[in-house]
Structure 1
Amino acid sequence: MSFVNVPAGSHFPIQNIPFGVISTASDATPRPATVIGDHAVDLRAVAEAGLFNGPLLKAVAKDVFSKPSLNAFMALGRPAWREARHTLQALLAASGPVVDLRESQELQAKILVPLAHVTNHLPAEIGDYTDFYASKEHATNVGIMFRGKDNALMPNWVHIPVGYHGRSSSVVVSGTPLHRPCGQILNPATKLPEFGASKKLDIELEMAFFVGTGNKLGDRISVKDAEEHIFGVVVMNDWSARDIQSYEYVPLGPFLGKNFGTTISPWIVTLDALEPFRVAQPHQDPAPVAYLQDPTQDKNTYDIKLEVDWKPRNHTEAHTIVKSNLKYMYWSFKQQLAHHTINGCNARTGDLCGTGTISGKDQSEFGSFLELTWNGANPVNVKGETRTFLEDGDEIILRGYCEGLVDGQNVRIGFGEAAGAILPAKPFSG
């Protein structure tokens, strides 16, 4: 338990301790933080008070927690991440030998900030962004739509975690609105491309992991060591313009249909916080090649409940239209990272890797409007509003959380929201 009040159903109990970057009206400088209940915990203030006194952080805490991103902290490695998390849990505990913060109103005033007074920023400087295609149900649905049941999955899909390199510059933090993208779209009647605003603007319900420590160019990260390199996980919406994407993706894959915006939740949840929720990933048939197998672990994914809420334009309430789960994902985080580096590609601190859309077997678990409406054939209808794809003014809110017993308490370990609204396309006069 924490001495800080944690409301029922909060994503942020003391068993979580995620990491992010905040600023406030009184101090606009972005700096690292964690969150407990309805309060951010200013890690720069914790460091300045000398409360990070463990062997790995004592000498460097003031430096790494005064940076405008988490990269310097992430680069320290998993032992330092664990030390920070354990220190913060001890400081925030309702009882125990560490009393500095619990018994000092002065320190609490400096360190604890109501979330209502906080502005969230991107938690890391993202050098590179890779998006995978790791859900078998999603890949199969898309394949059936465009190639038919007999050719739904491409032959390589069950052998490698398929992915493509995205655009890190357009990754944004939750709450950032995005303009409807424009591009060339094939006119089905004339079979010629026409320039215009996307009419098939979509979402992708994803999760993503941040690389904490990378590898040298030419080296590899093995699947059994991959979790030591993964700093933590966020919820992600890979917004997609399906009509632009469908015209451009042959022969080299997604480009303008994807890189206009990708939204992530502001708090990075560590693998240590997710540890109690490990589960087995789906059976892989055929068995992956050796470099994608980890004989030391039989639970390689996490039971993370995922939700998509849709708030139509001019509505005051959002409505849940999708409930899915990370555990459906065919290729695990560590398989994705191991495959990414098997050719000697150097992952770096702050790199972001998305899972691709996460879908389950039932329609209520499909993680995109493309699947929910079967490419527009079966519109979604909620409270009198009908959609095939998103309209201007619509807002999408993604959430993810684990729920169950941790240390004898039933808790919810969550990620907060990855939310964004769609603005009209900007006029083009070129």
Structure 2
Amino acid sequence: MTWIDLPDATPFGPDNLPLGVFRLGDEEPRIGAAIGDHLIDLAPVASAQMLDGSQLFNQPTLNAFLALGRPAWKATREWLLDLVRNENNRDAVEPHLVPRDAVTMLLPFEVADYVDFYASEVHATNLGRLFRPDSEPLLPNWKHLPVGYHGRAGTVVASGTDIVRPSGQRKAPTDTEPSYGPSQRLDIEVELGFVVGTPSALGTPVGVDAFEDHMYGVVLVNDWSARDLQAWEYVPLGPFLGKSFATSISPWVVSLEALKDAMVPLPQQDPPVLPYLRGDLQNPDITFEVRWNGQLVSTPPYREMYWSPAQMLAHLSVNGASVRTGDLYASGTVSGTAKDQRGSFIELSWGGREPVTVNGEERTFLQDGDEVTITGWATTKDGRRIGLGEVTGRITPARK
């Protein structure tokens, strides 16, 4: 299917071609498409072929390309597919194939706004049992709307960025007063992020049927969480400092077009949702792998998520809130029913009461120097894998 030599089981085959922003040496950042162990430096190829909008690939972010909208996204994908499938393009492309290990990958787009949802029933139930053991785990609104909160766009960082341990107020149940200091219960959250391309007008909701007109693609997300800060602050207004210090995303944005053969019907929702949340709803069939200091500890599945990506976008905008090019919203923690499918360490260690053995050492929450890498891939109906790459981060000590 391609004239480019590819390694076995590459996450970036000729049907994928995700876009990202790279820097080669001291050169200016620009846009590339991943294939195998290489990327295609798109600016010179597009310029030589006199492609409309070729200058957009010479930009340091994807935002200008994302703003073009769905017809341009589809046309670009068809051009990319032809580049790697048609032998006649070898002479034009081959000089601009760059080894991926020779470049530095950057944040792929400038994040406009960031919203984090809470779309996994398994995760929400687990957290409810841990945080509110004497109450029903799911609050009354949970199955009627996709619960979420607005986060900080300015602390969304590229994969590979070190994560400084946050400090703040925390109060254990046995303490009489709160104290201040570095988080002692630092955690991860395995999430899928959705990248908005086409904006909407203020006051005009985006319906579930318009999802594909606004949404370009997906990234992997690790929404780092300070559980001790979160537990003390989140009542009555929800997450704040326990979440806002850092959110890591993967460098490659995988288009919805690349994922179209990996979509599955949304699980049945009970009770029935309100009309603005109804439609032909789907989830991508994605599997994640979580490695803690190199050891595989969890494999969360996305396909069983309770709320669909289209419902999240519809609810985000139903009050008339606009979406902007570069908006990012995330699914919330992805957790499956099995213990080794839990997408956060507070679940995996059950609140710290069941330590996890990592390379011979017991862990409950993250220690300084720990590194977490999340990878993921979508599985198509005919068994092909569409890789999402990886997002990684290492914990460094709190600053005084």
For the criterion TM > 0.5, the same-fold answer is yes
Query: C-alpha displacement at 1:103, in angstroms?
Result: 3.1
The letter of the residue matching 2:9 is: G
Q: Measure how far apart 1:250 and its partner are.
A: 1.4
Q: Residues 2-401 of structure 1: matches in 2 within 5 Å?
A: 2-27=2-27, 29-50=28-49, 52=51, 58=52, 60-62=53-55, 64-93=56-85, 95=87, 99=88, 101-104=89-92, 107-109=93-95, 111-148=96-133, 151-294=136-279, 297=280, 300-311=282-293, 318-401=294-377
SS at match of 1:124: coil
CA distance in 1, matches of 2:295, 2:86: 36
Contact 1:40–1:118 (CA under 8 A) maintained in structure 2: no
Cα distance, 1:175 vs. partner? Answer: 0.8
The answer to whether the 8 A contact 1:176-1:420 is kept is yes
- Contact 1:378–1:388 (8 Å) recurs in 2: yes
Q: Aligned in 2, Cα 1:68/1:383: closer, same or farther, shift over 3 Å?
A: closer
- Counterpart-to-counterpart distance in 1, 2:122 and 2:192: 16
Q: Report deviation, 1:214.
A: 1.7
| CA deviation string 1:403-424 (max 9, x = no partner) | 3466xxx532111101000001
Letter of the 1:415 counterpart: L
TM-score, normalization: structure 1? Answer: 0.90
Mapped to 2, the partners of 1:46 and 1:254 lie a distance apart of: 45
- State, as a whole percentage, how many aligned pairs show the same letter: 47
Aligned in 2, Cα 1:192/1:149: closer, same or farther, shift over 3 Å? closer
Taking the aligned partners of 1:184 and 1:90, their CA distance within structure 2 comes to 55
Provide the C-alpha distance between the structure 2 equivalents of 1:391 and 1:373, rounded to a whole number of angstroms. 14
The secondary structure found in structure 2 opposite 1:137 is: helix
Instruction: Return 5+ residue gaps in structure 2 as ranges.
Output: none
Work out the CA distance in 2 between the residues paired with 1:241 and 1:120.
27
SS at match of 2:362: strand
Secondary structure, aligned partner of 2:296 = strand
Alpha-carbon distance in structure 2 between the residues aligned to 1:421 and 1:129:
22
- C-alpha deviation, 1:94, in angstroms: 5.1
Q: Which of 365, 370, 394 lines up with 1:421 in the alignment?
A: 394
